[in-house]
Structure 1
Amino acid sequence: MTTTGYVHGYSRHETRRLGDQADTLARLLHADTVFAPGSRVLEVGCGVGAQTVHLVTGSPGAQVVAVDVSANSLARARARVAAQAPWARVDWIRADLFDLPFADAEFDHVFVCFVLEHLQDPEAALAALTRVLRPGGTVTVVEGDHASAFFHPDSARARAVVAHQIRLQADAGGDALVGRRLQPLLTAAGYRDVVVSPRTVYADRTRPELVEGFTRATFIAMVASVGDEAVAAGLTTRAEWDRGIEDLNRSAEDGGTFHYTFFKARAVRPAAPHTRGARST
């Protein structure tokens, strides 16, 4: 088992944050995520269904199967999709990524969004998914990179709280910087034709929907949520943490700017199955 604890928690606040993130970034991340009618698509680690809504909206004719290890998250996902895309037919399955209850080559496409950052061994996870993906089928992976965040006004205290969040995720076995690793991870896992594209978010007062939906409700909310853990771990004091969050919030005010980069990868499963650790020729 190589999953980690979910560093952001499972609160209703986190559910709302994930929804804000997905809705705000839908066009940026998923406008080109389109699967043919009748194709079988496996969404791995669907969580509360924040991305599932946009997956079924962009590919209404696809047969989507959504998997997550958390029964509570699956219940929230089912409710979200029923409310926002009531016409969609999704099969909801509780299962671990490393023990999927599907036949070999059962799916035409696999979709993985904001999952690898929480895994101790993302390469092993990607390799494991080749079993259920048909030869010639595709995998789509979306991940962020928290170290890509920069902002104005710049602040050492704000940069410190972001660094503490990255550290806490690493201590939990994850990698908040995994976006920059997608190409080598997919290649090592045995996929071919790997193409990675950066997806940049830039927000200032002329883009109020991004300031509110991403800078405030997604990124700052994510960092702020781990304050207690950062203090408990001795990474900072409460006063230092609060000043860092205060400085970070200035990037969402008039005169502030915020930048972040996501990475989206698409790759193909080759005809021959991949054996992890085997030499490629």
Structure 2
Amino acid sequence: MTTGTNTHRTSAHPGPYVHGYSQIEAQRLGDQADTLAELLHAGTSYPAGSRVLEAGCGVGAQTVHLLAASPGVLLTAADLSADSLARARSRVAAQAPAAQVTWHHGDLHRLPFPDGAFDHVFLCFVLEHLPDPAAGLAALRRVLRPGGTITVIEGDHGSAFFHPESPAARRTVDHLVRLQAGAGGDALIGRRLYPLLTAAGFAEVTVRPRTVSADGSRPALAEDFTLRTFVAMVEAVRSEALAAGLTTPEAFDHGIAELRRAAEPGGTFHYTFFKAVAVNP
């Protein structure tokens, strides 16, 4: 879900990153990561001294949680956006000043590291932005030692369902899916993790759902996830959807208003992330 934690694109298709690089988006990514930290990072920890690559670290929203769960790791955080890396460095300096982090500015398809340089690879909300996620996984497998693990987390906008159900809200979410596809990405990639990893040559692939369910019994989650994470992400592509001729201002705004009803009293919102772990044989 980009929810868009990361900013990796490949030079083979330098299409626009649909979520943008604004300070508002950076704040949204941080809020999202904090809200979902327990859900997404549970079960992921690496021994002290492990060489870990975070591919597509973006603004460091996931980086600080990765470091908190695995103190003492030797982390290399890589991203294509120099601006995002600068924000990530500031975030880590403020929240994990003792961490050992090496920062790399570059494309994950062309990492300047030797074969088998890392014990573990971690990426969250990255594959959804790649025109060829299989090629990205192959590049990451090269720098992962035999027996090392890769952890991949992605969303799937097709898993979003809500009450009250609304065709207008559904169409507005679909605008984001179409825009991401037009930029060379796939907002529905969560369902593809198992075949992608197995085709890339990884073994012992396991994929498990991590589901968010927000309703009146969890008002804080309805605010933090439904509104500040998901609805804010969809609402942020308004200008792109209008420019692409996908909708009208009135229709888009109506869809957002309908989507917001899921966070109101009596509303519910549900979304599934997919977390995969695999081994480089």
Q: Give the 5 Å matches for 1:120-135.
A: 120-135=131-146
Q: Give the 5 Å matches for 1:266-281.
A: 266-270=277-281
Further displaced range: 205-214 or 63-72? 205-214
Instruction: Tell me if 1:202 matches 2:213.
Output: yes
Query: Which residue identity does 1:209 align to in structure 2?
Result: A
Query: Which residue identity does 2:42 align to in structure 1?
Result: A
Name the SS for the 1:37 alignment partner.
Answer: coil
Instruction: Tell me if 1:191 matches 2:202.
Output: yes
- 1: distance between equivalents of 2:64 and 2:216? 28
Query: Which residue identity does 1:225 align to in structure 2?
Result: A
- 1: distance between equivalents of 2:142 and 2:12? 17
Instruction: Tell me if 1:220 matches 2:231.
Output: yes
How far apart are 1:84 and its partner, in Å? 1.7
- 1: distance between equivalents of 2:219 and 2:48? 35
Q: Give the 5 Å matches for 1:1-281.
A: 1-2=11-12, 4-270=15-281
Does the aligned pair in 2 maintain the 1:65–1:93 contact within 8 Å?
A: yes
- 2: distance between equivalents of 1:257 and 1:88? 39
How far apart are 1:131 and its partner, in Å? 1.0
Q: Percent identity?
A: 67
- 2: distance between equivalents of 1:107 and 1:119? 22
- 1: distance between equivalents of 2:184 and 2:49? 37
Q: Which residue of 2 aligns with 1:278?
A: none
Does the aligned pair in 1 maintain the 2:155–2:274 contact within 8 Å?
A: yes
Query: Which residue identity does 1:243 align to in structure 2?
Result: H
How far apart are 1:89 and its partner, in Å? 2.0
- 1: distance between equivalents of 2:178 and 2:65? 31
TM-score (norm 1): 0.94
- 2: distance between equivalents of 1:19 and 1:252? 20
Distance 1:89 1:54, change over 3 A: same
Name the SS for the 1:23 alignment partner.
Answer: helix
- 2: distance between equivalents of 1:152 and 1:83? 39
Name the SS for the 1:259 alignment partner.
Answer: strand
Query: Which residue identity does 1:180 align to in structure 2?
Result: R
Query: Which residue identity does 2:176 align to in structure 1?
Result: Q
Does the aligned pair in 2 maintain the 1:153–1:257 contact within 8 Å?
A: yes
* Cα-Cα RMSD: 0.9
How far apart are 1:85 and its partner, in Å? 1.8
Further displaced range: 210-219 or 7-16? 210-219
Q: How many residues align?
A: 270
How far apart are 1:18 and its partner, in Å? 0.5
Does the aligned pair in 2 maintain the 1:43–1:111 contact within 8 Å?
A: yes
Query: Which residue identity does 1:199 align to in structure 2?
Result: R
- 1: distance between equivalents of 2:217 and 2:94? 31
Runs of 4+ aligned structure 1 residues displaced above 4 Å come to none
Further displaced range: 247-256 or 3-12? 3-12
